[in-house]
Structure 1
Amino acid sequence: MSRLTRRLLVTAAATALAVTVPLLNRNSADAAVTLPPAHAKFDYQIGGAYTPPAGVQVVTRDRTAAPAAGLYNICYVNAFQVQPGEQNQWASDLLLRDAEGNLVIDEDWGEPLLDLRTADKRNRIAAKVDGWIDGCAAKGYQAIEPDNYDSYTRSKKLLTATQAEAYLTLLAAHAHSKSLAVGQKNTVELAGHRQAVGLDFAVAEECGQYDECADYVDAFGNNVIVIEYTDSGRRKACSQYGGTLSIVQRDVDVSVPGDSGYVRKTC
């Protein structure tokens, strides 16, 4: 689940808008990825897959779900933290612990943080997540959204931004080798390093609410997907960027139609 702070084939319309870009500073100079079309109608479905609303061109779904046929699909991967109930799937030493040996937990979502402090651990963690990325590619996704880039800010100062960037650079290189674009999830303070890390577009939660959209635009141009969780945040984002960015408002639980809390609004 994403933290609140912060296939198949592309349809004709999406194809017209989508941008294919060469990868810079990569081992395979002739490789390329296709970015999500800018200012496209978007739906965020990480809480459960459902038939996209009419007109939607871009969808994000969890890596365990199938892509939406005929759309541009982004594969959500919790890359920096452990999903609830999946702790036993990880080697114990890859879970971040404090000086007393206690797991460091993202209290908002009950997710243990992964330990990125050494190159060996980053490589071992990346090897597992790369398998998930391979799964996204095999299903027909065109991009990945590695979540919790900012987990270092919740690490009791045990992790650093530099370690987070080094780890995400590994994931980005692997994703690019599978012709998948890579989205930077939140973490606006590191947006200026996007090219060095290998990030192609941004997925920004609540940048309208917290006046951060301009910073993402400075780094990524119009290749920014905005997700707001409040009416005020959506209105602000739409008033400033409704003509250039993909903007949607969802409920915090990113629930599915028919659920009592389901919300989806656009500009």
Structure 2
Amino acid sequence: MSHRPPARSPRAAVPPLLVVLLVLLGLTVGPLLAAAPGGASGASTGAPTAGERTVEEPSAPPALPAATDVDYQLGGVDEVPDHVGIVVRDRTEEPAGVYDVCYVNGFQTQPDARRFWRERWSLVLRDDRGRPVVDSAWGEWLLDLRTASKRERVARIVGRWIDGCARDGFEAVELDNLDSFLRSDGLLRRGQNLALASLLVERGHAAGLAVAQKNLAGYDGTRIGFDLAVAEECGRYDECDAYTEVFGDQVVVVEYRDRDFEATCAGFGDALPVVRRDRPLRPAYDPRWC
């Protein structure tokens, strides 16, 4: 009884002459076989092989914790009471070890940073006489966001600060003065500010941070990726609803007057963390909570 020759495996399918040529060239048939559909076995397991990189989905930015209070410590670091689970501090300070929000002035200059911005004078918004346009309430120069090139340069500078917040252990970043166009004497447009905001939100998410919209009530910041909001005096100006309609309970509120604080607590204290602070935000001040 004769035996039938065994069926050829895919590995034997390479023509003998080609094998000889490959050997003469110092090559092997392995790459040819690996390139065949299903590899040498003709089947694919779908599992990554050695040397392959798997792409992981980015994790969602951390949300605000529920049922806790907030403190706004921009004027200096203070102790954190046990009932406070959210603290906002300047990017130059250490996080408190709770849900920490890193304050970054994204659209204006800090009053003590004028030397830094004088060295980048073309990024400071100036009037027709060459004078810086100033936010008179805080003594801050506005940044010039009128061209894509300037916005990209500002985004690189502020982006490095955002990355620093992430390295220091903050969970979120607050981008202050999104509404600087309202104080620009008509030199800036809303869309220019939002274009920079989009760049900064992307940078924050790339660093693993949640990103907070600061003020500009009525704007749906989720359209460009904002995750939460920091609302100053939304009770005073009857704007808290404008934030909750967009961000739900992902809103923290800071009030600076007793009557506004009390009204905000009455309307939103059960749903949102609200703190009554002094406007200079001094560490010696005793905050109040709802």
TM-score where L is the length of structure 1: 0.85
* Residues 101-250 of structure 1: pairs in structure 2 closer than 5 A: 101-190=130-219, 192=220, 194-250=221-277
* Change over 3 Å in CA distance of 1:157–1:29 after alignment to 2: farther
* Change over 3 Å in CA distance of 1:126–1:183 after alignment to 2: same
Q: Which runs of 5+ in 2 are unaligned?
A: 1-55
Q: 32, 39, 59: which is aligned to 1:31? A: 59
Secondary structure at the aligned position of 1:135 is classed as helix
C-alpha deviation, 1:59, in angstroms = 0.3
Q: Deviations over 1:154-178 (max 9, x none)?
A: 0011001111110011000000001
Matched, 1:80 2:107: yes
Hey, which bits of structure 1, 4+ residues long, moved more than 4 A? none
Greater strand share, structure number: 1
Q: Which has the higher contact order (CA 8 A, sep 6+)?
A: 1
Aligned length: 234
* Residues 249-260 of structure 1: pairs in structure 2 closer than 5 A: 249-257=276-284
Secondary structure at the aligned position of 1:59 is classed as strand
RMSD: 1.4
Greater Rg, structure 1 or structure 2? 2
Secondary structure at the aligned position of 1:189 is classed as coil
Q: Distance in 1 between matches of 2:88 and 2:112?
A: 22
C-alpha deviation, 1:108, in angstroms = 1.1
Q: Deviations over 1:221-250 (max 9, x none)?
A: 111101000111111111111111011100
TM-score where L is the length of structure 2: 0.78
Q: Say if 1:204 and 1:226, in contact at 8 Å, map to a contact too.
A: yes
C-alpha deviation, 1:139, in angstroms = 0.4
C-alpha deviation, 1:94, in angstroms = 0.2
Secondary structure at the aligned position of 1:182 is classed as strand
Q: Distance in 2 between matches of 1:113 and 1:122?
A: 13
Q: Say if 1:63 and 1:77, in contact at 8 Å, map to a contact too.
A: yes
C-alpha deviation, 1:263, in angstroms = 3.7
Matched, 1:264 2:287: yes
Q: Distance in 1 between matches of 2:286 and 2:178?
A: 26
